[in-house]
Structure 1
Amino acid sequence: MIPRYEAKAITPIWSDENKFKTFLRIELELLRALEEKKMIPSGIAETIQNTAKIHTDRIDEIELTTRHDVIAFCTSITEQLPADIGKYFHYGVTSSDVIDSALTLQIKSSLDVVMKSYDAFLEALKARAIETKMLMTLGRSHGMYAEPMSFGQKLLGHYAEFKRRRSELQEFYDNELTIQLSGAVGNYTILTPDIEESVAKKLGVKVEDVSTQIIPRDRIAKMISITSLVANAIERLAVEIRHLHHSDVREVAEGFRAGQKGSSTMPHKKNPIASENLTGLSRFLRSHLTMALENAILWHERDISHSSAERLYLPDHFGILTYALDRFTTTLNLLDIDEKVIEGKVLAHTHYLSSFYLHFLIKNCESLTREDLYTVVQAASFDVEAKSNPLKYREFIQNELKSRKIDVKLPEVTPEGLRNIYLKSVDHVFNRVL
């Protein structure tokens, strides 16, 4: 990951040193299980743990000859041991047992970091939604003003989407992180399923139901499909902020810090750079889904066409996802929500009342059809003068009805009355989500 977007907690998880340390952790747990089953002499695991060290430079040196990273790793360990100890290292397993099981543990550690950032982001989004629950804003349909709604409920809809993805990530974390120690083509020639089960329990993960020499890649594809949907949710909220940030909308603005500059030549600029950045990063995250899906289609019991892609995209994926969630948390906390501008638009426009007035007339004008009443209200909504003046809007409708010999007095609507009309169910919706 380039330094600009690096997540400091993710990078060490995917370092070569940590990968090989994880290899060693799995090998040691296997040895302990073998000792418990009396398949090898006791004390082997303890001796290796106290003696063997990870030397990535030495592993790289050996791999120049072996052209095989796991063999290079094993050689680097066994050359530090007496022959009668070293001969039991990597006992009964094939390289994919170690590689894929270690990969699961790296994914598990990465998800621990991701979900911590995710939860902080959810709390920030929930706080802004609750804060603006009773703030009236003009909802939009097709980009056009529709009806007043709760600004907080607008944010709550995004929160509900992120909450769904968080639940799916937790389900994956709890049920789909698996290891294998089943040997070549998964047939347990040397080891046994109970040894595999014992190691999995100590590592805090599950055993793969049917390992074919590798852990099936549909599991990783499922995880990346979830995180790709997280990326979609990130971009959807980022785009909403960008729209509301427009100069001619001015309902929200990203926080502008002391010394920050928005343009090299236009000092007046305050750009939505975080939301734009998050939009781009979301596209990057979603691009990994194609690789994850294609990696699931392998030859027979095993090939390594997935390996190179995973070495590249998985560290980047978890790093960028963590960075994006952390940056969005900061963006939300600093987001300037201009309540005066937002609610001022509600009070300045009247044709958004068309649905309310239409349904009022349907209940109070029995002699006209719904289509006739719709035409009356629509005419007022399209009249330039009427739609910009609450009194004239009501008068226009009432005069149209009088011309049809119907005398109906439309209710006057105050700001508090608007809340009673358009925000009457907001508490119910919030309670349902939270």
Structure 2
Amino acid sequence: MYNEYQSPLVTRYASKEMSYLFSDEFKFTTWRKLWVALAEAEKELGLNITDEQIKELKDHIYDINYEIAIEQEKKTRHDVMSHIYAYGIQCPKAKPIIHLGATSCYVVDNTDVIIMKEALKIVRKKILKVIKNLSKFADKYKDLPTLAYTHLQPAQLTTVGKRACLWIQDLIIDLENLDNCINSLKLLGVKGTTGTQASFLKLFDGDHEKVKKLDELVCEKLGFKDKYFKITGQTYPRKQDAIVLSCLSYIAQSAYKFSNDIRILQSFKEIEEPFETTQIGSSAMPYKRNPMRSERISALSRYVIVNVLNPLITASTQWFERTLDDSANKRIVISESFLAVDAILNLYINISENLVVYKKVIEKRVKEELPFMATENILMEAVKKGGDRQELHEKIRVHSMEAAKMIKEYGCANDLIIRIANDEAFNLSKEEILSTLNPQNYIGRCKEQVEEFLKEIVEPVLNINPIEEIKVEINV
């Protein structure tokens, strides 16, 4: 295993649960289930297929003879025909009716949709877990004032919990998109070589109703009742892949935003991601505590966002009923996008469960900036004591610029309050000015917004969705 390439998404990042969905075992057992469903439906509609043949097929769904299939593919250069050949060796009685009337896309495309649906379910339960984690965090810190930023410059105050609600809001939007995506997924169904169902019409002696019923029966057996495309070329529309990977891209965008916020907050020493006692931050600088998990979310998110271009281009460049330039691309981009999103959500769960908040650092940083933010309230108090609003506004501007200059050029403490208190035009004592500097007076409706958002938006989502206790394993 050390002398050939292995995807780090499997060896380092994604869960075993997600990796299994894209394994040969899951894919080829699903192919065999599709052949069983086709045979059962064809039998039910009157074709000469026996119960004994179907039982033989069912008995060999899971004991796949991979070696024979691999050797056969070397000869035929055709994966589906190689597995039909291998299945036929194990099922000699059923061999004549395996894949009857179908084309390769019957197993390949329908399997891809089944895998994507199961993978989306894993993504969904992990998003719900992140939302639950962040909702607890938001409620705990709903009234802890912290600096709010625009243009990455201190603007006013918000609260730690209110900021967490912004992360949750993104995920709520993603969950809605995800549910729409899952509910709209459709199988290719049973369409034949170019989507005309001509081979099945021949099998059923021109009986159109039986051919229509075959499509319906097979998809229902696979758990997709009334969820199949009524008209296609040889494949299902490749726009469906674009929709699915766009959905994954939305999730990556939200996680990217969260990870960037955490990376910046960790540089401020206000909030940190978890850091194990034996973890090493830098090979050269042993004191460092790097936000490596958040950085990994950023890296993987960038990959997923860029990867969505592949199905977009594939969907737009399919010629007529189908071209095969989609196949090799699909094998890579769909699986790797899901594996990457799974890895992202594993990290998101881990970080959101174990965020460390340094209240004293946050309070210190708020105290340093609050005098600037309090100037409007100071102005109002001075006007109430008879001051001229326009004159005082100019004085505050000048004092603020001077205080900022001393901070930036000389590293001095913020002395804006002292400057204003010493200016007789304001007619305010230092004590009167300091009484306006309670951070709680500058957070607006943050606490109430958090409570309302959690109660009205988040709790209903969590209440109707059982949240699994997911224990993610971060290997590196």
Deviations 1:222-269 (A, max 9, x none): 1111211211211111111111111xx211122221222222232211
Do the aligned residues in 1 keep the contact of 2:399 with 2:419 (CA within 8 Å)?
yes
| 1:354 lines up with 2:354 in the alignment | no
- CA drift of 1:168 comes to 0.6
SS in structure 2 at match of 1:184: coil
Aligned match for 2:30, one of 22, 29, 49? 22
Aligned match for 1:56, one of 58, 66, 71? 66
Amino acid at match of 1:74: I
| 1:125 lines up with 2:108 in the alignment | no
Distance 1:70 1:146, change over 3 A: same
- CA drift of 1:399 comes to 4.2
Distance 2:310 2:23 in 1: 21
| 1:104 lines up with 2:113 in the alignment | yes
Deviations 1:275-310 (A, max 9, x none): 112111111212211111111121110111111011
What is the match of residue 469 of structure 2? none
Aligned match for 1:223, one of 244, 249, 255? 244
Unaligned runs of 5+ in 1: 403-408
Amino acid at match of 2:401: F
| 1:169 lines up with 2:178 in the alignment | yes
Distance 1:272 1:146 in 2: 25
Larger deviation: 270-279 or 340-349?
A: 340-349
- CA drift of 1:178 comes to 2.6
Do the aligned residues in 2 keep the contact of 1:140 with 1:147 (CA within 8 Å)?
yes
Distance 2:18 2:322 in 1: 29
SS in structure 2 at match of 1:305: helix
Deviations 1:101-158 (A, max 9, x none): 0111111121222222222222222222221111100111222111111111111101
Do the aligned residues in 2 keep the contact of 1:137 with 1:343 (CA within 8 Å)?
yes
Amino acid at match of 2:110: S
- CA drift of 1:366 comes to 10
- Identity percentage of aligned residues: 23
Do the aligned residues in 1 keep the contact of 2:40 with 2:54 (CA within 8 Å)?
yes
Where in structure 2 are the equivalents of 1:321-360 lying within 5 Å?
Answer: 321-349=341-369, 350-357=371-378
Distance 2:417 2:327 in 1: 69
What is the match of residue 302 of structure 2? 283
Larger deviation: 121-130 or 50-59?
A: 50-59
Aligned match for 2:263, one of 203, 226, 242? 242
- CA drift of 1:74 comes to 1.0
Distance 2:19 2:450 in 1: 40
Amino acid at match of 1:211: T
Distance 1:395 1:56, change over 3 A: same
| 1:41 lines up with 2:67 in the alignment | no
Q: How much is the aligned-residue C-alpha RMSD, in angstroms?
A: 2.7
Distance 1:37 1:362, change over 3 A: farther
Distance 1:115 1:129 in 2: 21
Distance 1:389 1:72, change over 3 A: same
What is the match of residue 116 of structure 1? 125
Unaligned runs of 5+ in 2: 1-6, 201-210, 408-412, 459-476
What is the match of residue 150 of structure 1? 159
Aligned match for 2:272, one of 240, 243, 253? 253
| 1:7 lines up with 2:11 in the alignment | no
SS in structure 1 at match of 2:325: coil
Distance 1:331 1:430, change over 3 A: same
Do the aligned residues in 1 keep the contact of 2:158 with 2:446 (CA within 8 Å)?
no
Deviations 1:338-396 (A, max 9, x none): 01111222233310123545677899989756xx6654443333231799246436537
Aligned match for 1:232, one of 253, 268, 272? 253
Do the aligned residues in 1 keep the contact of 2:382 with 2:426 (CA within 8 Å)?
no
Aligned match for 2:144, one of 135, 145, 162? 135
Where in structure 2 are the equivalents of 1:204-219 lying within 5 Å?
Answer: 204-205=223-224, 206-219=227-240
Distance 2:26 2:142 in 1: 46
What is the match of residue 395 of structure 1? 421
Amino acid at match of 1:224: L
Distance 1:160 1:51 in 2: 47
Distance 1:373 1:31 in 2: 87
Deviations 1:397-421 (A, max 9, x none): x74567xxxxxx8793253xx3244
Distance 2:327 2:444 in 1: 53
- CA drift of 1:429 comes to 4.7
What is the match of residue 462 of structure 2? none
Distance 2:374 2:304 in 1: 42
Distance 1:128 1:152 in 2: 7
Amino acid at match of 1:185: T
Deviations 1:19-62 (A, max 9, x none): 11111111111111112211333413223212564212211111
Distance 1:195 1:227 in 2: 33
- Number of residues of Structure 1 aligned to a counterpart in Structure 2: 421
Distance 1:200 1:380, change over 3 A: farther
Do the aligned residues in 2 keep the contact of 1:150 with 1:423 (CA within 8 Å)?
no
What is the match of residue 80 of structure 1? 90
* TM-score, normalised with respect to structure 1: 0.89
Amino acid at match of 1:413: T
Do the aligned residues in 1 keep the contact of 2:21 with 2:115 (CA within 8 Å)?
yes
* TM-score, normalised with respect to structure 2: 0.81
Distance 1:362 1:285 in 2: 55
What is the match of residue 207 of structure 2? none
- Ranked by relative contact order (alpha carbons within 8 Å, sequence separation 6 or more), the top structure is 2
SS in structure 2 at match of 1:106: helix
- CA drift of 1:323 comes to 1.4
Do the aligned residues in 2 keep the contact of 1:153 with 1:430 (CA within 8 Å)?
no
Distance 1:157 1:8 in 2: 31
SS in structure 1 at match of 2:311: helix
Distance 1:20 1:102 in 2: 9
Do the aligned residues in 2 keep the contact of 1:93 with 1:184 (CA within 8 Å)?
yes
Distance 1:363 1:29 in 2: 82
